[in-house]
Amino acid sequence: MSAALALEVRDVARNFGGLQALRNVSFTVRQGEVMGLIGPNGAGKSTLFEIISGNVKPSAGSIFYFGTDCTNVPPHLRRRQGMCRTFQKVRLFESMTVAENIRVAASQSVPPDRSVDEEVAAVLAQFRLEAQATRRPSELTLADRKRVEIGRALAGRCRLLMLDESMSGLTHEEAEHLIVEILALNRTRGITVIVVEHVLSVLAAMVSRLVVLHNATVIADGTPTEIAHDPQVVEAYLGTKQRALR
């Protein structure tokens, strides 16, 4: 029996005035899956992320989260139901300490079997941020800032983690560390993961499936190997030399 659907994007469209940012976008994500979302600049990835997380309303279509239509559910309630995300440009609460950043999210949906303090401590430990707990984000390196943001996304209830270019700006080693941590979360806690990433070589090592957006719609959906050999993708996105996959 196949796993239940964590997310279903059904016929989603979005217009900004005369600009069609998304049209007839449909795909599903199974529970426990690690899925990649790729596409060239302007393909509509960010708009789709904003629609899934509830910051932007679709002009048409629906979003189903674990079988329930959440198209009109505000973002904070989606988060409390375990739909978690990071941002393309890291967005932390700059006046707060690292521990407080995580506490904000932990206190919204702490699991019944532990206190907020325990949850904050667990997240700090998981991302090896204990030494930075009382520091402000401005004192951290980019890699640590990204880990705090992912930690904040995971604090409390998290069933679906959406990462928006979380590897960009990191060194190869830092990115590898982060990938290991995310895959461990997927394995140990069964968290479904959607990753938007430009570095396809990074993404191919991480995901079991790729959805490709181009010109505001889905042009391919398959395993990284299938995607790499899809002539439409090669033509539209990767280029004939497939340089991005290297």
Partner 1 sequence: MHTGAPTSVLSQQQMWFNWRSAAILILPVAIVAVLPLLPFVNNYIIAATVRALIFISLGQAWNVVAGIGGQLSLGHGVFLGIGCYTTGILFNKYGIPPWVGGWVGVLLAMAVALVMGSMTLRMRGVFFALATVAVSLALVQLSRHFVDLTGGADGLALNFIGNSVWAMQSRTPAVFLYAALAFVVAYYWITRWILASRLGLEMQAVRDDEVAAAAAGVAVFRTKLVGFTLSAAMTALAAVLYMQFYMAIDPEAAFGLGTAIQLQLPALIGGLGTAAGPIIGGAIMIFLSESTNWGGAKVGIEGLDILIYGLMLLLVVLRAPTGVVGWLQAMRQSGSGR
Contacts with partner 1 by CB under 8 A lie at 53-55, 74-76, 79-80, 84-85, 87, 91-97, 99-100, 103-105, 107-109, 114, 117-118, 120-122, 124-126, 130, 133-134, 152-153, 155-156
* Separation between Cα atoms, residue 119 and residue 106, nearest integer Å: 6
Using an 8 Å Cβ cutoff, are 209 and 222 in contact? yes
Cβ proximity to partner 1: between 100 and 176 the closer is 100
Closest separation in Å from C-beta 205 to partner 1: 27
* Separation between Cα atoms, residue 97 and residue 138, nearest integer Å: 10
Cβ proximity to partner 1: between 110 and 212 the closer is 110
Closest separation in Å from C-beta 209 to partner 1: 24
Residue 141's alpha-carbon distances to 47, 95, 137, 138, 153, in angstroms, are 28, 16, 8, 8, 18
Cβ proximity to partner 1: between 38 and 99 the closer is 99
Q: Which residues are bridge partners to 36 per DSSP?
A: 195, 210
> 3-25 as b/e, with b when 16 or more CB fall inside 10 Å?
eebbbbbbebbbeeeeeebbbeb
Name residue, tokens 């997240």.
123
* Separation between Cα atoms, residue 60 and residue 146, nearest integer Å: 33
Using an 8 Å Cβ cutoff, are 224 and 207 in contact? yes
Closest separation in Å from C-beta 102 to partner 1: 9
Closest separation in Å from C-beta 225 to partner 1: 33
Closest separation in Å from C-beta 121 to partner 1: 4
Based on DSSP, count helices (H) and strands (E) in the chain, helices before strands: 9, 10
Cβ proximity to partner 1: between 120 and 206 the closer is 120
Closest separation in Å from C-beta 182 to partner 1: 17
Name residue, tokens 């439409």.
232
Cβ proximity to partner 1: between 50 and 230 the closer is 50
Amino acid making up residue 169: G
Cβ proximity to partner 1: between 84 and 170 the closer is 84
